[in-house]
Amino acid sequence: MLLLCVWVVAASALAVPAPGTSGKWRGAAQAWPEEPNVVLVVSDSFDGRLTFYPRNQVVKLPFINFMKAHGTSFLNAYTNSPICCPSRAAMWSGLFTHLTESWNNFKGLDPNYTTWMDIMEKHGYRTQKFGKLDYTSGHHSIRVQLSSCLSSNRVEAWTRDVAFLLRQEGRPMVNLIPKKTKVRVMEEDWKTTDRAVNWLRKAATNHTQPFVLYLGLNLPHPYPSPSSGENFGSSTFHTSRYWLKKVSYDAIRIPEWLPLSEMHPTDYYSSYTKNCTGKFTETEIKNIRAFYYAMCAETDAMLGEIILALHQLGLLEKTIVIYTSDHGELAMEHRQFYKMSMYEASAHVPLLIMGPGIQANLQVSNVVSLVDIYPTMLDIAGIPLPQNLSGYSLLPLSSEIFKNENKFKNLHPPWILSEFHGCNVNASTYMLRTNQWKYIAYSDGASVLPQLFDVSSDPDELTNIATKFPEIAYSLDQKLRSIINYPEVSASVHQYNKEQFIKWKQSLGQNYSNVIANLRWHQDWLKEPRKYESAIDQWLKTNSNQKENEQK
């Protein structure tokens, strides 16, 4: 690994020059004298707020800071679904989750779906993908060791709105590698990064075609816990002393929690299924957050390997580099870890772009989201954009050519949509985020109360003001319904869940009771098996009755 201190020495040499004035433009995209290369690095679970002040003071992220200084950073970038596969499906398709019907980590895009990379390849780009993809159905790449765990994940996603609580993840914990010099903690990601660097070395010798390279990382996603019982799950924050030294413990903030009795019902459900409703000491919370930040520092170093390789190969000034993440990480905010939430720590993602034609040291406050990656990629290549995309090209917001062009000021709408239909939350969730407001609706819009936060005055999202400002809540709800008929989508997801559960149950035959009793909520199930069987039967019956009534 190249030492991080190289960045200090090389920073001036890595500066990306402004584009020449001889370039022509096609729509929002520049037709460079030769099309630029593109590198997209996508990590997992990276809190986007760490890329700007004051959050970035807690951990040293030199290469993210380098991209900020030499490119454009989007201060309000969001996932379109705070869970791996649906989020990545949105990014690779350019479509909102309800349009792709990527409902959970097992229901993504069709393997033959035409992505932005496929289109770029057809237009002459050499293409290469390394690492974590997770956007097609049935290929969730989080390392699952036990088939029973796989069944648990699927059944939990389908039955989350059954009238009982599921105990999915283990209690979050930390694990420290004592060796002070241990740098490559996430060895799989480092090997993947090495493969990408080696590919770049080969690509540098071919000057006849531009290339697009994708690198997907697991970090800073928490690691699988080492047991298979109640504590099983991706709930271990794991790092070494080398990376912990990059973290400023004094800058770590202990998040404020609402009392359990005051939590929104969906938040309580999430906290319970994530095993976070028990007591945590301040030391435990601070350590979890510190270890998470250390994992972010290791992620930053892998991004740095790509940037330094591009520089050494003479490709940096010819390459647009984009860094983002599929979602964030709560790291004990709102009494939760993991994601599956519309709170900032979970839904806010990093998004930085640098390269020829991209304005340096620019911070864009407009709300944007991962569906914007698709049109941006095509725009970079000068490829006409399809008319049906949910996203918008980010070039008008980040390019030097357009920075003073008022006619492009409102090209991207002043809102983004995020939705969630997977496990750990017991109701489909929808977020409309504008410059000032965050409105969160659930299920059919009536059975579960909505949430409204003024993120400008309440950045920690501790005060739900939906009932205090009903006119604003109503207005935002109407806007949300104009974008997505969310009660109808919720009903479709519920029906899908029921159908998938029935198929799974039928495939087990007489072995069903034994299998379901040994999934990860087995301790509670075995205590009152009739109660749980009855809850599932009632759930199936209720949905069937609703469907019959709708057909009448």
Strand positions, DSSP E, 132-170: none
Helix then strand then coil, % of the chain, to nearest 5: 40, 15, 40
Is the bond into 36 cis (omega within 30 degrees of 0)? Answer: no
Residue 5, pLDDT > 70, answer no
pLDDT of residue 521: 60
Q: What would the pLDDT profile of 198-254 be if each residue is shown by its tens digit?
A: 999 988 787 789 999 999 999 999 998 866 544 467 889 999 999 999 999 999 999
Q: What would the pLDDT profile of 32-75 be if each residue is shown by its tens digit?
A: 557 899 999 999 999 999 999 777 799 999 999 999 999 999 99
Which residues, at least 6 apart from 285, have a Cβ–Cβ distance to it below 8 Å? 254, 255, 332
- Range with lowest mean pLDDT among 73-77, 140-144, 268-272: 140-144
Q: Which amino acid is at 193?
A: T
Active site residues: 84
> 39-491 sits in which CATH class?
alpha beta
pLDDT of residue 380: 94
Mean pLDDT of 476-495: 97
Residue 151, pLDDT > 90, answer no
Closest CA to 336 of 165, 171, 144: 171
CA Rg value for the chain:
23
Mean pLDDT of 147-169: 73
Enter the pTM of the model.
0.91
Which residues, at least 6 apart from 18, have a Cβ–Cβ distance to it below 8 Å? 400
> If 0-12 CB within 10 Å is exposed, 13-18 middle and 19+ buried, where does residue 230 land?
middle
Q: With bands split at pLDDT 50, 70 and 90, how would you rate the model's confidence at 526? A: confident
User: Mean pLDDT, the chain, as a whole number?
Assistant: 87
pLDDT of residue 114: 95
545 token code pair: 């009755």
Q: What would the pLDDT profile of 369-420 be if each residue is shown by its tens digit?
A: 999 999 999 999 999 999 899 999 999 999 866 555 444 554 899 999 999 9
Rounded to whole angstroms, the Cα distance separating 541 from 537 reads 6
Q: With bands split at pLDDT 50, 70 and 90, how would you rate the model's confidence at 541? A: confident
pLDDT of residue 403: 54
Mean pLDDT of 292-316: 97
Q: What would the pLDDT profile of 170-194 be if each residue is shown by its tens digit?
A: 889 999 998 889 999 999 999 999 9
| More confident call, 542 vs 174 | 174
Residue 233 and residue 142 in contact, taking contact as beta carbons nearer than 8 Å = no
pLDDT of residue 401: 60
Residue 9, pLDDT > 50, answer no
pLDDT of residue 23: 28
Q: With bands split at pLDDT 50, 70 and 90, how would you rate the model's confidence at 31? A: very low
Rounded to whole angstroms, the Cα distance separating 513 from 505 reads 9
Rounded to whole angstroms, the Cα distance separating 540 from 546 reads 10
Angstrom distances, CA of residue 260 to CA of 231, 266, 268: 22, 12, 7
pLDDT of residue 323: 98
Output phi, psi for 111, to 5 deg: -55, -25
Share of the chain above pLDDT 70, in %: 85
| More confident call, 179 vs 492 | 492
